[in-house]
Amino acid sequence: MASHRPFLIFLMTLLVPVLCSGQFWEVEGQYCSLYWPSGQCCSDRDDECILPIMDTFCYCDSFCARRDGDDCCPDFWEHCLGEPKRRPESDLDYVRHYGRPRG
């Protein structure tokens, strides 16, 4: 097993960013709509507009929609913006579109 450890570490460094992108895409439920029922979610960056989800937090402010929106709450797009839920752009899609890594 020890001889496979470097390979496993290398493999995990490749897989973890891919598996973690779009972290709330598959999660369903009411988050923003429970706390801001009128659809008036927070504008700009507002640390008061966070909600617990899984073992972290998601956001219901317009700042979360920057770039790929991977930290927006699951119902942010539909409830706060009135738009269909967006699938976060993967790192590979970003490179294909912009020709460079994020950063």
Q: Which residue has the higher pLDDT, 51 or 2?
A: 51
Tell me the per-residue pLDDT of 3-40, one tens digit each, with 9 for 90 and over: 656 555 544 444 444 344 446 656 788 899 998 888 88
Higher-pLDDT residue of 97 and 18 is 97
H-run or E-run covering 9: helix 5-20
Query: For the chain, how many residues are written?
Result: 103
Q: What is the mean pLDDT of residues 80-102?
A: 70
- The rounded distance, in Å, linking the Cα atoms of 88 and 90 is 6
Percent of the chain whose pLDDT exceeds 90: 18
Cα 80 from Cα 97, distance rounded (Å): 27
How many angstroms separate the Cα of 25 from the Cα of each of 9, 20, 34, 38, 78? 26, 10, 18, 23, 13
Predicted TM-score (pTM) of the model is: 0.60
